[in-house]
Amino acid sequence: MHNPITAGRASCRELGQKNITADWQWRGVWPVTDRAVQAGAWLARNDKSHGQDARASSRLALIFVNVTSGTLSLDLDFKGKDYGLDASELRLIPRTELGPAEPVIVPLTFRRSIRLEPFEAVAFELARS
């Protein structure tokens, strides 16, 4: 599964394109620079279905983590067909360490603004509505 911050999938444009540098200290001084928002995606297919049915019953999780001590904002541009999701509408459930929020219905292609507090993680579960 591709990172949701890559073009051609769910693309994510960090406002200000922030990076963070840390010293990993594996062998002396070893500075590493990476994105301030780490992201990933996971597709869970229904094992009981095959072919088109499996894609129709799939659930997708998009995960975003702010690894900095500052608040960050970003835009998520999502295209469900890039993940093999085939529906006119999807149910989106935001999840944080506090649990799930109320589900919302979104189109198969949408843009969503995300605000991440320092060291906050959020996951968006997407499935057929």
pLDDT value at residue 28: 87
Question: Along the 129 residues of the chain, how does pLDDT read in single tens digits?
Answer: 445 544 334 455 555 568 888 888 888 888 888 888 889 888 887 655 555 554 556 889 999 999 999 999 888 989 988 888 888 999 999 999 999 999 999 999 999 999 999 999 999 999 988
Q: Using alpha carbons only, how large is the chain's radius of gyration in Å?
A: 16
- Domains of the chain are 11-128 (2.60.40.1180)
pLDDT value at residue 84: 82
pLDDT value at residue 1: 47
List CB contacts of 121: < 8 A, sequence separation 6 or more.
63, 64, 65, 66, 96, 97
